[in-house]
Amino acid sequence: MVILMLGAQGTGKGTVAGLLSETLNWPQISTGDIFRKNMKEETPLGVEAQKYISKGELVPDEITVPMVVARLNESDAEKGAILDGFPRNLAQAEKLDKILAEKGKKVDLVINLTSPKEEIITRILNRRVCSNQACKTTYNLTMHPPVKEGICDKCGAQLVQRGDDSDKQAIQNRLDIYEEKTLPLVDFYTQKGVLETYEISEKTGRLGKDVAEDILKQIQ
């Protein structure tokens, strides 16, 4: 089963995907992880990706999508996988569908997370990430704090704040880009009948763990 996580930055994609991954024992996959793995192993696609990343350029879809599909074909993703933050646009979604179909697979479920914009900004400002690259668990100081301040519950590494998570204007710019480039995916997957939308909001009291529990009930 292939699950996609959609939603603007700060809606809780990483938190929900992480909870699903923990319970189901399915890998939580991001393009950043895939790029790093392929570049480290110096695969043909990794070598090509490095050429763009080293220049600060976006890796073309022709390289990114095959990398994602190759990751989905690895043994730990045999029963299921959760794609966190991919695809990011319609072109990637269409290419992903095509390559998955060639391998007898498909996107089975798309989780679209929403939150009030003012909550998103506050949430991102309070986001902390595990500094251990093998872990990278995401926390929120107000909604999903670590047991021990500044320390990852899972591996004991120090938690850090990403540089662009401390700038309100940078956060707003990222939200604007999401609405322009990625939001059309909601319509794309709605038409396919595989999209489920959940709101995460402190006002309603529904947090990431509540949404994760609802999703697990649906697919288990």
Among the listed residues 150, 153, 15, 4, the one whose alpha carbon sits nearest the alpha carbon of residue 84: 4
Tell me which of 95, 127, 128, 136 is the catalytic residue: 127
CB under 8 Å to 152, separation ≥6 — which residues?
130, 131, 132, 135, 137, 139, 146, 158, 159
Distance CA 58, CA 120 (A): 25
Spot the catalytic one: 88, 123, 128, 136.
Answer: 88
Catalytic residue among 95, 123, 136, 174: 174
Catalytic residue among 13, 123, 128, 136: 13
Residue of 103, 148, 162, 203 marked active site = 162
Is 13 one of the catalytic residues?
yes
Q: Is 127 a catalytic residue?
A: yes
Residue ranges of alpha helices (H) inside the chain are: 13-24, 31-41, 44-53, 61-72, 90-102, 117-125, 168-181, 184-191, 208-219
Question: How would you label 101-122 residue by residue, b for 16+ Cβ within 10 Å and e otherwise?
Answer: eeeebebebbbbbbbeeebbbb
Contact present, 117 and 175 (Cβ < 8 Å): yes
The angle that helices 31-41 and 61-72 make with each other, rounded to 10 degrees, is 90
**Annotation says 36 is catalytic:** no
Concerning whether 162 is annotated as a catalytic residue, the answer is yes
**Strands 107-114, 81-84: parallel, antiparallel or unpaired by DSSP?**
unpaired
Q: How far apart are CA 88 and CA 120, in angstroms?
A: 19
Annotated active-site positions, please? 13, 88, 127, 162, 174
